Amino acid sequence: MRLKIKLPLLFLLMFMLTFVLIGIFLILYIKTLVADEGHMWQGNIFSPLHFQMLFFLSILMGLMFVVLTVFFHFNITKPIQTLNLRLKKVNIGNFRTPLHSRRKDEIGDLYNHFNEMEERLYQAHREQVDMIAAIAHDLKTPLTTITGFVELLSIQKDLTKMETQDYYELIMKKTKHMVGLIDAFSMYTKNEAMFETIDMKPIAIHKLFDTIASEYETELSGFDFKLTWKHTFNPNQLISINEHMIRRVFGNLFSNAVRYGNNNDLHVYLTGYAQEGYAYFQLEDNGVGVPNQDLSSLFHKFFTVDKSRQMNNGGSGLGLASCKLIIEYHGGQINAFHSDHGGLGIRFTLPLSV
């Protein structure tokens, strides 16, 4: 029961009990006055019987006060004290066991919201640490290579012009890779800042879907890959989106399918449908897929399934993280799954306009 219902009921019960006790006292008092006709009215006020009745009433009132005090202590004061002590010990660097509460009232909600806040703080801290570690790792690898080539060029003076040119080209390639990583990180941080100012406009889903599918069907055919697409959207269904950002989501998903599908006969499947107030978009491929243990981590910043594949294909580990950021800003959700076609499947939702 909620506190906003429980407390008024408790006070009402206490008021009724107090009213009943006072009523009983008055009835007994009047009866004694009527029974003792030989004495003055004032004389009966301080009789031993009346003192006993007042003493009994005082005890009952005192018990009611004790019950209220105990109730407030264990149901309100103590839980809040526990929460305050936990707040003083919050350490985002170390994960702590969540506060447990079986209560279904406002105190229970407060505990649950505190646990969610602590989890978000811990997750944000872990993402910052992982981000710094990922940036350091991804920059250190090409820097080490560049350093090695520069030392080689400075030591070996008898290199041919062709060998020297090859080394310079390798240095340039690694340098461009570093610049690409920094640009990707810069773009990701800009995305977070842009959300405060972007415009959302209503767009017919079927037109957006048809346009995107046609564009990528042509693009994939240039790589001798195939796209099969279908949807069940009707002309009256709209979504309120920033089209540029949603197109970037599709661009990232198709780019990942081509980069990491590792299949010379790559076949991509794009599906769309509406269900329970949301537009669903599903992109699958027949590539190599992703291991089970990595599915839940695909949308983490700088996460890559295979570091060597990242280096060879020029990935930054921020593509799917950017997709998640954009989709959640639009009020939708995105998740990964194993496709029935053998590869990876990505499904995201966008709320339909009412």
The model's pTM is 0.57
Which residues face 344 on adjacent strands?
338
Main-chain dihedrals φ then ψ at residue 271, nearest 5 degrees: -130, 145
Tell me the percentage of the chain whose pLDDT exceeds 70.
80
**Which one is predicted more confidently, 60 or 277?**
277
- For the domain 201-351, what is the CATH superfamily, name and number? Histidine kinase-like ATPase, C-terminal domain (3.30.565.10)
Confirm whether 111-194 and 201-351 share one CATH topology.
Answer: no
Per-residue pLDDT tens digits for 6-40: 767 777 777 787 777 777 777 766 666 666 554 54
Tokens representing 273 are 């449908």
Confidence grade of residue 294 (pLDDT, cut at 50, 70, 90):
confident
**Which of 174-178, 191-195, 344-348 has the highest mean predicted lDDT (pLDDT)?**
344-348
Q: What pLDDT, on the 0 to 100 scale, is given for residue 3?
A: 62
Per-residue pLDDT tens digits for 94-118: 666 777 777 777 788 888 888 888 8
Per-residue pLDDT tens digits for 46-85: 566 666 767 777 787 778 788 878 877 787 788 888 888 8
Strands (E), the chain: 201-204, 226-231, 238-241, 267-275, 278-285, 334-338, 344-351
Query: Would the pLDDT of 179 be above 60?
Result: yes
Confidence grade of residue 177 (pLDDT, cut at 50, 70, 90):
confident
Main-chain dihedrals φ then ψ at residue 263, nearest 5 degrees: -140, 120
Please spell the DSSP secondary structure of 208-225, one letter per residue: HHHHHHHHHHHHHHTTT-
CATH 3.90.79.10 applies to domain 111-194: no
- Which residue ranges make up each domain of the chain? 3-89, 111-194, 201-351
**Which one is predicted more confidently, 167 or 211?**
211
Q: What pLDDT, on the 0 to 100 scale, is given for residue 62?
A: 79
CB-based burial label for 53 (10 Å; 0-12, 13-18, 19+): middle
Confidence grade of residue 206 (pLDDT, cut at 50, 70, 90):
very high
Q: What pLDDT, on the 0 to 100 scale, is given for residue 61?
A: 77
CA–CA separation, 23 and 174 (whole Å) = 92
